[in-house]
Structure 1
């Protein structure tokens, strides 16, 4: 990340404003923040007694779960492609 230009973007997640610094576009960072916000709000709708920290952890766990499932699927597809090319 040191060779690429860093972009700072202000986003709102679950009522709080955060400054995100990264090499992706501001639009990308806003989309990520929007997904986290939406996830936290969905968990809040199911569990209104949870505080924002617990909602954030649930959102993170859910995101990690989805990531791992997608990663496994990509690996499966890459294996299938390798067999077809072989």
Structure 2
């Protein structure tokens, strides 16, 4: 969550009924949006798995987000490779 901005912002976000103070160089609205996104994802997983502890919901959410990130990175890498191949033609 870092940019070239040297201003450190402090935002309180509510994730899965817990408050967290987040500090970062990003604008407060962006940090709030990230917190809300994590909260939504945790609630979606908890709805499908009613008996999970908060820790397990958090870990499953992290795994789901890591999976999404990895797939996006693979797609990005493939696109960059295709663009580089097109440049060579």
Tell me which interval the TM-score lies in, with the shorter structure as reference length: over 0.9
Aligned residues: 86
Q: Is the counterpart of residue 83 in structure 1 residue 81 in structure 2?
A: no
Q: Aligned to 2:22, which of 20, 23, 27?
A: 20
Q: How far is 1:59 from its partner? A: 0.7
What CA distance in whole angstroms lies between the structure 2 residues aligned with 1:60 and 1:70? 15
Paired residue secondary structure (2:21) = strand
Instruction: Flag as ranges the 4+ runs of structure 1 deviating above 3 A.
Output: none
In structure 2, the partner of 1:41 is 43
What is the correspondence of 1:43-62 to structure 2 with a 5 Å cutoff? 43-62=45-64
What CA distance in whole angstroms lies between the structure 2 residues aligned with 1:48 and 1:25? 34
What CA distance in whole angstroms lies between the structure 1 residues aligned with 2:35 and 2:53? 18
What CA distance in whole angstroms lies between the structure 1 residues aligned with 2:60 and 2:8? 29
- After superposition, the C-alpha distances for 1:55-84 in whole angstroms (9 at most, x for unaligned) are 111111100110000001000000000011
TM value normalised by structure 2: 0.90
RMSD: 1.5
